[in-house]
């Protein structure tokens, strides 16, 4: 595994085996560099000074302390575009506490403060410290140490791995949010026990993560599972060239399968302004326009997932995000995907996430071993 320079280090997969599924994720580990002063600091003071500080009692925490003994509590942070959620899990995976706050959009400094405040709140309520894992949109580049590929675009280019650990006074593990989602569902969720799991988030964006035998498959370039920025397979004439994506390309899968994409499709068809949930509700009430819109969505999702099945042949595909609540997808998509898959039979299961919107934050907590 790559060893990061300065404050950065990455542990091997063998060191990360939490119970009960013993996932073997390989997230980047970023550690604080300096010791704290003898007086307490506010989170903003910490951000300015980048010192190591323990958020409960002001004591010091050496990098490695958390991984050298059995963890009694894991804290997971899910850094979303509209909300930041925190969860505390006991060693056996039981939820101890959950709390969330609105994301400070377009404000990186306020985002760091919000994370620090969530951890302080969790630890203050429970009276104990814990490890911290953070699921982020995009990933931290091992070349630059900065966030890349985030649809929360104000986070791109930011060195969160250098900035956050000193604020918390401990090493922090970071992982792509879709990888956290997939890890959670493969560990003790809807895909528990499956050998190969593809976790899909279809919401504000379209992300994916791959877990093989309990281990997150990050890939050589650390972009494993980023299917949302592939072109839509087998595009129809009316689907070309596709809308421009924030990544700079046209016709990405995300521009067809995300919640905003579904809403745009419905509006362009004459349905007016509506959310994905409202479109689903109208389809269930018998509105033909909404039903046709969802039928096109099902076919596009079948094509996109069919290409994934052709490449990694997963046991289970788990859907998460807001659009995973559309019940007809779990029958409509498998009914369509056979024609796009290179096999005489397809037994891959398409299932809804067991933990719903909370799965990503649970996966972030699972980034630390027992």
Angle between helices 288-312 and 259-266 (to 10 degrees): 140
pLDDT of residue 151: 81
Q: Is 15 exposed, middle or buried (0-12, 13-18, 19+ CB in 10 A)?
A: middle
339 CB-side CA count, 13 A? 10
pLDDT of residue 27: 61
pLDDT of residue 115: 97
Measure the CA–CA gap between 195 and 266, rounded to whole angstroms: 37
pLDDT of residue 70: 56
Q: Which two tokens stand for residue 110?
A: 């306020």
Tokens 């990186």 belong to residue: 108
According to DSSP, the β-strands at 28-30 and 73-79 are unpaired
Write out residues in the chain with pLDDT < 70, as ranges: 1-71, 370
Angle between helices 160-168 and 108-126 (to 10 degrees): 30
pLDDT of residue 28: 63
Per residue in 99-122, pLDDT (tens digit) is 999 999 999 999 999 999 999 999
CA distance from start to end of the chain? 21
Per residue in 219-277, pLDDT (tens digit) is 998 899 999 999 999 999 999 999 999 899 999 999 999 999 999 999 999 999 999 99
pLDDT of residue 192: 96
Q: Which of 317, 310, 271 is nearest to 294 (CA)?
A: 271
**List of domains in the chain:** 32-170 (3.30.420.40), 192-358 (3.30.420.40)
pLDDT of residue 244: 96
Q: Is 236 exposed, middle or buried (0-12, 13-18, 19+ CB in 10 A)?
A: exposed
């Amino acid at each position: 595994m790559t060893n990061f320079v300065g404050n950065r280090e990455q542990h091997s997969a063998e060191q990360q085996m939490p119970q009960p599924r013993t996932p073997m994720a390989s997230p980047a580990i970023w550690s604080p560099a300096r010791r704290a002063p003898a007086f307490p600091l506010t989170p903003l003071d910490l951000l300015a000074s980048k010192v190591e500080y323990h958020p409960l009692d002001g004591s010091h925490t050496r990098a490695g302390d958390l991984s050298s003994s059995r963890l009694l509590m894991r804290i997971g942070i899910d850094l979303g575009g509209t909300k930041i959620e925190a969860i505390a899990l006991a060693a056996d995976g039981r939820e101890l506490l959950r709390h969330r706050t609105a994301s400070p959009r377009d404000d990186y400094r306020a985002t760091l403060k919000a994370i620090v405040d969530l951890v302080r709140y969790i630890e203050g309520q429970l009276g104990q410290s814990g490890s911290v894992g953070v699921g982020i949109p995009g990933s931290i580049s091992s070349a630059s140490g900065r966030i890349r590929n985030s649809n929360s675009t104000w986070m791109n280019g930011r060195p969160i791995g250098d900035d956050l650990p000193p604020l918390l006074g401990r090493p922090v593990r970071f992982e792509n949010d879709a990888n956290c989602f997939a890890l959670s569902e493969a560990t003790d969720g809807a895909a528990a026990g499956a050998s190969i799991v593809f976790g899909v988030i279809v919401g504000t964006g379209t992300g994916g993560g791959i877990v093989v035998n309990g281990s997150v498959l990050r890939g050589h370039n650390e972009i494993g599972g980023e299917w949302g920025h592939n072109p839509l397979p087998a595009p129809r004439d009316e689907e070309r060239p596709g809308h421009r994506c924030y990544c700079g390309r046209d016709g990405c899968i995300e521009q067809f399968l995300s919640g905003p994409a579904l809403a745009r499709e419905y509006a362009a068809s004459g349905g007016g302004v509506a959310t994905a949930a409202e479109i689903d509700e109208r389809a269930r009430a018998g509105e033909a326009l909404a039903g046709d819109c969802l039928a096109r969505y099902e076919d596009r999702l079948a094509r996109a997932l069919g290409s994934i099945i052709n490449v990694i042949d997963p046991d289970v595909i788990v859907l998460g995000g807001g659009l995973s609540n559309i019940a007809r997808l779990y029958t409509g998509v498998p009914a369509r995907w056979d024609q796009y898959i290179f096999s005489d039979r397809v037994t891959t299961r398409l299932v809804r996430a067991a933990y719903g919107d909370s799965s990503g934050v649970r996966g972030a907590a699972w980034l630390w071993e027992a």
